A and B are shown apart, each in its own frame.
Chain A
Amino acid sequence: MIKIENLKASIDDKDILKGINLEIPAGEVHVIMGRNGSGKSTLANVIAGNETYEVDGGNITMETTDITEMSIENRALEGIFLCFQYPVAIPGVSMAYFLRSALNAHRKYQGKEEMDALEFLNKAKAILSELGLDDSFLKRSINDGFSGGEKKKSEILQLLTINPKLAVLDETDSGLDVDALRTVAKGVNKFKNENNSVLIITHYQRLLDYIKPDVVHLMIDGKIVKTGDMSLVEKVEKDGYSWLEK
């Protein structure tokens, strides 16, 4: 699905990513863990095309398309979806208007007809119900006045509405209580299938109790230094990261 080769990126002349190599085939869930400042969120943002970061080398290929130089919106239209660690609040733009605009941008890109308001509402309400959210959620401004849990559920609502090819979850589990965590995990599990991929960035095992990863990567100082299975997560929970530096 996505192939990242020797990716290097910096911000304000400070090197963050120092040669990332990562390939996530369709149908797989990958996890990246690492210390604070190791470059996990930078990787998520660079995949999404955040222009704050400078790409200094390497390639990102989505299926067969090189997206390294692609605009933010075109990457999204190619199938990349970043679940934000800190979703921004945008007062004055309703969730319904925003979601329908985003969905129809994707449909237009895919050569499909735009979804009319009624069809969209039916689709959105069905997803809201699964996430335990009230229909009035759609009338609220984007993330404005949302609790931490609501913000993350809003991200999952967007994920399920847009239905991208690759979901990058940037610490989506941070700040969630157990019930909200289960709801988020339920949403991600509903999303994933053999035709799409998920990249989870996290510090903790708890989300992975609900979403079983196929591959686990450990990141230190801008590089993936170890790749393995779920046993790596258990080792990190037990021993931290210092053993990787020996």
Chain B
Amino acid sequence: MIDILKKISSDFFNKQGYPSKKLENWKFTSSKNLIKFDKQDSPDIVSRKIETDESTLLFINGKLCLDTLENFKFKDNLEIQDLVNINDENVFAFSNTFSNDSMFNLGMSDFESGHYIKFKKNTTLENPIKIINFFENNSSDCRITSFNIFHFEEGSQVSIIEKDINEGTPSFNLKLNKFICDDASNLKFGKYIEEKSDCHLLSYSYYEVGKDVCLNIDSMNKNSIFSKEFIEIDLNNTGSDAKINILNLVKNEQHLDNNILINHNAEHCTSFQHVRNILDNKSTAVFNGKVIVAEGAQHTDSNQSNKNLLLSLDSTAFSNPQLEIYADDVSCGHGSTTGALDENSIFYLRARGIDQSSAQKMLIKAFAKEVIDEFSLSSVQDISEIALDSWING
């Protein structure tokens, strides 16, 4: 099955090539930055030992490190298969948006091995699982591609904190993930990306959501010189709730792009997108957020919010919140703001004896805190606050 998919994807990419700026999803992000990463080099063995504990799943260059499974305390709750052994085409089904994106197809044709990781029915984990994605390469300009599928069976309640670590020479990490959330499952997925400054990241995360599912995605990203993240959520059955909260800290000439699509395909679902970008120097941030409410998806309640704080006259934010509604009994809202620190607020703080630099930092933290406070995982909140402090003072 996987060989057929890889062949189809390879043909697609060879025909389409790298995406141009004429495409809506690539309008503000140039794929030219990625072309030079044309070598594939993803050794399984890395130069140093990576510390893991009994709640950590380690992926080295996108491949699950089976050694760490021996000590993994929740291994009885898991069922793991190599993707080569999966023959159910539904497992590999992705949205049309992804299937028609040439970089996604490049990833599908590229990856060497991946896993299907299933959390069994009614698995309840009190503490979060850690996923460490360790990337290391030996030659410059190389592309490391990974593809893994996570399946949360009915009634499972799982929290995951994912962290990327990059070592070696500059690379381009192309990550494809699929998350299948069965009925009544509860997934809290926290991502913390503190890449090396010369690492390029392009990720595609597709969430297939069943009935009465509660899905939370928390994400904090800083230091990526180039990061483009596609998140697509299909709310396919009634009563589900998806919340996405993202904080991006960008400076120097970093470029960061969040591309989010939520498809309300069923009645009585709720979704919430909250993306905040803080930009300094000559950095750029892009928000492409879309909610599509299908015909018949009545009683949808959806909200999108993108707020950009520009700390420099040379920083740029592109914000494109969109709603497509084909049902008539829904509540949908969206909003976007872009601006500098409020001078009146700075004056107010300084008039109480707080120096200008401290007043500015206080306001930056306040801006970020409003999204950090919405994170579903307290550990991601804590990590984000520490990262924010070092970013502001760095």
A residues at B contact (CB < 8 Å): 48-52, 71-73, 76-77, 81-82, 84, 87-88, 90-93, 97-98, 101-102, 105-106, 109, 141-142, 158, 162
Chain A residues closer than 8 Å to B359, beta-carbon distance: 73
Choose one: A87, A91, A101; the contact of B354 (CB below 8 Å).
A101
Cα of A88 to Cα of B366 in the assembled complex, Å? 14
The segment from B122-130, B235-243, B343-351 that touches chain A is B343-351
Contact: B356 with A73, CB < 8 Å?
A: yes
Choose one: A91, A105, A158; the contact of B370 (CB below 8 Å).
A91
Contact: A72 with B347, CB < 8 Å?
A: yes
A73-B353, A98-B362 are known; give 18 further A-B pairs, CB within 8 A. A48-B351, A72-B347, A72-B356, A73-B351, A73-B355, A76-B352, A81-B351, A84-B348, A84-B351, A90-B349, A90-B363, A92-B365, A93-B362, A98-B349, A98-B352, A101-B358, A101-B362, A102-B349
Which residue from chain A places its CB closest to the CB of B346 in the assembled complex? Answer: A72
Cα of A198 to Cα of B218 in the assembled complex, Å? 50
Cα of A51 to Cα of B369 in the assembled complex, Å? 28
Contact: A73 with B354, CB < 8 Å?
A: yes
Choose one: A76, A81, A84; the contact of B350 (CB below 8 Å).
A76
Distance from A26 Cβ to chain B, minimum over Cβ atoms (Å) = 20
Distance from A89 Cβ to chain B, minimum over Cβ atoms (Å) = 8
Chain A residues closer than 8 Å to B351, beta-carbon distance: 48-49, 72-73, 76, 81-82, 84
Asked whether A88 and B348 contact (CB < 8 A) given A73-B353, A106-B353, A109-B353, the answer is yes
Contact: A88 with B350, CB < 8 Å?
A: no
Cα of A158 to Cα of B354 in the assembled complex, Å? 13
Chain A residues closer than 8 Å to B76, beta-carbon distance: none
B342 within 8 A of A: yes
B18 within 8 A of A: no
B98 within 8 A of A: no
Distance from A45 Cβ to chain B, minimum over Cβ atoms (Å) = 9
Cα of A102 to Cα of B368 in the assembled complex, Å? 21
Distance from A11 Cβ to chain B, minimum over Cβ atoms (Å) = 14
B367 within 8 A of A: yes
Residue among B352, B365, B366, B367 with most chain A CB within 10 A? B352
Cα of A97 to Cα of B369 in the assembled complex, Å? 13
Contact: B348 with A90, CB < 8 Å?
A: yes
Chain B residues closer than 8 Å to A71, beta-carbon distance: 350, 356
Would you mind naming 10 contact pairs between A and B with Cβ atoms under 8 Å apart?
Answer: A49-B350, A49-B351, A73-B350, A76-B352, A82-B351, A87-B348, A90-B363, A93-B362, A106-B353, A142-B348
B residues at A contact (CB < 8 Å): 342-345, 347-356, 358-359, 362-363, 365-370
Cα of A88 to Cα of B342 in the assembled complex, Å? 10
Cα of A90 to Cα of B348 in the assembled complex, Å? 10
Chain A residues closer than 8 Å to B347, beta-carbon distance: 50-52, 72
Chain B facing A: main interface SS:
helix
Chain B residues closer than 8 Å to A93, beta-carbon distance: 362-363, 365-366
Distance from A99 Cβ to chain B, minimum over Cβ atoms (Å) = 8
Chain A residues closer than 8 Å to B355, beta-carbon distance: 73, 105
Chain A residues closer than 8 Å to B350, beta-carbon distance: 49, 71-73, 76
Cα of A193 to Cα of B262 in the assembled complex, Å? 62
Contact: B348 with A102, CB < 8 Å?
A: no
Contact: A91 with B362, CB < 8 Å?
A: no
Distance from A159 Cβ to chain B, minimum over Cβ atoms (Å) = 10
Which residue from chain B places its CB closest to the CB of A107 in the assembled complex? Answer: B353
Distance from A53 Cβ to chain B, minimum over Cβ atoms (Å) = 11
Cα of A109 to Cα of B362 in the assembled complex, Å? 19
Chain B residues closer than 8 Å to A50, beta-carbon distance: 347
Contact: A102 with B353, CB < 8 Å?
A: yes
Contact: A92 with B366, CB < 8 Å?
A: yes
Cα of A71 to Cα of B346 in the assembled complex, Å? 13
Which residue from chain A places its CB closest to the CB of B344 in the assembled complex? Answer: A88
Distance from A77 Cβ to chain B, minimum over Cβ atoms (Å) = 5
Chain A residues closer than 8 Å to B362, beta-carbon distance: 93, 97-98, 101
Chain A residues closer than 8 Å to B345, beta-carbon distance: 88, 90
Asked whether A162 and B352 contact (CB < 8 A) given A91-B370, A92-B365, A93-B363, the answer is yes
Cα of A92 to Cα of B307 in the assembled complex, Å? 14
Contact: A105 with B354, CB < 8 Å?
A: yes
Chain B residues closer than 8 Å to A109, beta-carbon distance: 353
Distance from A173 Cβ to chain B, minimum over Cβ atoms (Å) = 20
Cα of A243 to Cα of B246 in the assembled complex, Å? 62
Cα of A76 to Cα of B358 in the assembled complex, Å? 15
Which residue from chain A places its CB closest to the CB of B350 in the assembled complex? Answer: A72
Return the 5 tightest CB-CB contacts between A and B, nearest first: A92-B366, A102-B352, A72-B350, A76-B353, A105-B353
Which residue from chain B places its CB closest to the CB of A99 in the assembled complex? Answer: B352
Cα of A72 to Cα of B354 in the assembled complex, Å? 9
Cα of A77 to Cα of B350 in the assembled complex, Å? 10
Which residue from chain A places its CB closest to the CB of B371 in the assembled complex? Answer: A92
Chain A residues closer than 8 Å to B343, beta-carbon distance: 52
Which residue from chain B places its CB closest to the CB of A76 in the assembled complex? Answer: B353
Cα of A142 to Cα of B354 in the assembled complex, Å? 14
Distance from B108 Cβ to chain A, minimum over Cβ atoms (Å) = 42
Contact: B352 with A158, CB < 8 Å?
A: yes
Chain A residues closer than 8 Å to B348, beta-carbon distance: 84, 87-88, 90, 142
Asked whether A90 and B366 contact (CB < 8 A) given A50-B347, A84-B348, A98-B349, the answer is yes
